[in-house]
Amino acid sequence: MFLRKALQPRLSTRLWKSYSASSLDENVFKVDHLVIGAGVVGLAVARELSFRDNSSVMLVEKNSSFGLETSSRNSGVIHAGLYYNPDSLKTKLCIEGKEMLYEYCKAKQVGYKPTGKWVVANEKGSTGQEEYLVKLYEKSKTLGIPTELFTPDKVDPSDMEDTQVLKLLNTTLILNSPSTGIISQYDYMLSLLHDAQVNGTDYFKETEVVGVQKQNEGGYMVSLLQKDQEGKQDSEIRVHAQSVVNCGGLWSDKISNFLCDSDKTKNPTQIHYKFGKGRYYTYQHLLSDSVNLEQITKKLIYPVPDKNVTTLGIHLTLDLNGKIKFGPDIEWIDNNTDYSVVQGDNIDTFVEQIRRYFPFITRDHLTIDYSGIRPKLVGDGSPLSDFIIREESGNGFPGFVNLLGIESPGLTSSLAIAKYVKNILY
Ligand SMILES: Cc1cc2nc3c(=O)[nH]c(=O)nc-3n(C[C@H](O)[C@H](O)[C@H](O)COP(=O)(O)OP(=O)(O)OC[C@H]3O[C@@H](n4cnc5c(N)ncnc54)[C@H](O)[C@@H]3O)c2cc1C
């Protein structure tokens, strides 16, 4: 009874009645789909599943609001899908997700801008930068991603923006990606949540999954800790879910490792992330500058990435107000909550890498802003890994869908990931 009382104040009367009616016993609540984590991916998955008739969806988030972790700590770029292995889920879901995202933004009036982007080589010869861009160009043609490859002298002189940017830019070869853009992550997530809730999804914030146990009769018993109204005391609630979708972002390895059967045998597929922290610096115009970069740059500028594409390199991205930021770098850390940033952090690397394409940049142009953390399946120096999105039947856990290593381009791919998950379940 205590548990029911603990949950009751957080539910509307309608919800409370419906959960009571379908509960297995008085302390267990029953749902068809439990989605763990209200980042951009969990929100998109809950929305997609909520379109199914006659199935109930519950979305739980441990934080005080949706999207407070990686989904709001990124570059906000709608990627074209250029960089990944052509046969990978990253390529497939990024290309499909990009199209879906542009359509969605238009239909729902979510803020976005198809800015386009230039990937710029700035060294000829042995570094292989130009060869890399040529290969990227060839690959983009086979994948149907629009791109153009040109030397700086081919830029149309009547294009004021491009001409002005070129005056500041050190480049020998440019790959133009016109289908790259930017999005307001917050507006997008708010809209996804709205859609899901309109379709009947029950969303509970400050509600953390702390255990998942497979049931002999089918489905999973999920243990939740929910904070009270003041956010202080936790109450424990149990939910029986026919299917569970693990969209826990930086915590999804731990959630996956909660899995156990009724004998409490651990899931044999243990996965542990490596965490790659990435910082951003905002650009400050200096009075001594002859031009203000923010007034002339309307597109994103990326360097050629390192060989394994561990990151895309410290790039210039914009927000919808035209504010420029540079980042992210990468630092391998142990703590997936360490978002701390201090002015001067790794600034020499920032200056050195940005100056390869914008030689006028100095330390004084850069002010530390924020950081995000990547859930990496592989560490430094390893080839880029793919998204893992799978139902765990093969490991003895049918109806449990794991989403692991959902790093970039997870934001771009979110709607396509959601469709992919629905197709796994139905
Ligand atoms: C520096 C950086 C830059 C990036 N730039 C881009 C970009 O420009 N374009 C792009 O497409 N992608 C980009 N990405 C990738 C993109 O941000 C992520 O792929 C995406 O945000 C992942 O969303 P998610 O919902 O899987 O994870 P998250 O946003 O991390 O959400 C997971 C949620 O699960 C919740 N949760 C965890 N454990 C529990 C639990 N036990 N119980 C309840 N809730 C729980 C968390 O609190 C969190 O809110 C970038 C990533 C980083 C780090």
Question: 255 and 324 share a domain?
Answer: no
CA of 376 to the centre of ligand 1 (A): 12
Q: What is the pLDDT of residue 71?
A: 98
Q: Quote the percentage of the chain above a pLDDT of 90.
A: 80
Question: 297 and 341 share a domain?
Answer: yes
Question: 169 and 304 share a domain?
Answer: yes
Q: Is the pLDDT of residue 21 over 80?
A: no
Question: What's the mean per-residue pLDDT of the chain?
Answer: 91
SS3 172: coil
Higher pLDDT, 311 or 158: 158
For the segment 239-249, what is each residue's pLDDT rounded down to a tens digit? 999 999 999 99
* Residue identifier of the C-alpha nearest atom 51 of ligand 1: 74
Q: What is the pLDDT of residue 306?
A: 81
Is 370 inside a domain boundary?
yes
Question: 203 and 247 share a domain?
Answer: yes
Judge whether 84 and 136 are in contact, CB under 8 Å. no
Is 90 inside a domain boundary?
no
Is 415 inside a domain boundary?
yes
Q: What is the pLDDT of residue 6?
A: 39
Q: What is the pLDDT of residue 268?
A: 61
Domain carrying residue 284 = 117-178+274-376
Q: How confident is the model at residue 4 (pLDDT cuts 50, 70, 90)?
A: very low
- ipTM for the predicted complex: 0.99
- At a CB cut-off of 8 Å and minimum separation 6, what does 394 contact? none
Tell which atom from ligand 1 comes closest to the C-alpha of 374. Answer: 53
Question: 300 and 364 share a domain?
Answer: yes
Judge whether 198 and 216 are in contact, CB under 8 Å. no
CA of 44 to the centre of ligand 1 (A): 12
- State the average pLDDT over residues 68-95: 97
- State the average pLDDT over residues 103-107: 98
CA of 37 to the centre of ligand 1 (A): 9
Is 393 inside a domain boundary?
yes
SS3 410: helix
Q: What is the pLDDT of residue 380?
A: 77
As given in the structure block, the two tokens for residue 399 are 């109806």
For the segment 185-222, what is each residue's pLDDT rounded down to a tens digit? 999 999 999 999 999 999 999 999 999 999 999 999 99
Distance of CA 285 to the CA centre of its chain: 30
Question: 287 and 363 share a domain?
Answer: yes
Cis peptide before 409 (omega within 30 of 0): yes
- State the average pLDDT over residues 275-293: 95
Q: What are the residue ranges of helices labelled H in 201-346?
A: 252-256, 293-296
Is 110 inside a domain boundary?
no
Is 78 inside a domain boundary?
no
CA of 372 to the centre of ligand 1 (A): 9
Q: How confident is the model at residue 23 (pLDDT cuts 50, 70, 90)?
A: very low
Question: 262 and 278 share a domain?
Answer: no
- Assign residue 27 the CATH number of its domain: 3.50.50.60
Question: 390 and 370 share a domain?
Answer: no
Q: What is the pLDDT of residue 62?
A: 97
Q: What is the pLDDT of residue 260?
A: 76
How far apart are the C-alpha atoms of 289 and 175, rounded to whole Å? Answer: 27
* Residue identifier of the C-alpha nearest atom 3 of ligand 1: 74
- State the average pLDDT over residues 19-44: 81
* Residue identifier of the C-alpha nearest atom 26 of ligand 1: 249
Question: 261 and 403 share a domain?
Answer: yes
Q: What is the pLDDT of residue 344?
A: 97
- Assign residue 173 the CATH number of its domain: 3.30.9.10
Is 167 inside a domain boundary?
yes
What is the count of structural domains for the chain? Answer: 2
* Residue identifier of the C-alpha nearest atom 33 of ligand 1: 37
Question: 142 and 290 share a domain?
Answer: yes
Is 363 inside a domain boundary?
yes
- At a CB cut-off of 8 Å and minimum separation 6, what does 386 contact? 84, 85, 88, 89, 90, 405
Question: 158 and 287 share a domain?
Answer: yes
Judge whether 114 and 102 are in contact, CB under 8 Å. yes
Higher pLDDT, 268 or 242: 242
For the segment 377-391, what is each residue's pLDDT rounded down to a tens digit? 987 777 789 999 999
| Radius of gyration, alpha carbons of the chain | 23
Q: Lowest mean pLDDT of 34-38, 224-228, 363-367, 422-426, name the range.
A: 224-228
As given in the structure block, the two tokens for residue 135 are 């290969």
Q: What is the pLDDT of residue 197?
A: 98
Tell the residue number behind the tokens 């749902």, with chain if given: 31
- Contact residues of ligand 1, CB 6 A cut-off: 36-42, 60-63, 68-71, 74-77, 79, 208-209, 247-251, 255, 278, 328, 372-374, 406-412
Strand 331-333 with 274-283, pairing: antiparallel
Tell which atom from ligand 1 comes closest to the C-alpha of 68. Answer: 49
CA of 77 to the centre of ligand 1 (A): 14
- State the average pLDDT over residues 148-163: 93
If we measure between CA atoms, which residue out of 57, 6, 62 comes closest to residue 35?
57
Amino acid residing at 359: P
Q: What is the pLDDT of residue 379?
A: 79
Question: 171 and 313 share a domain?
Answer: yes
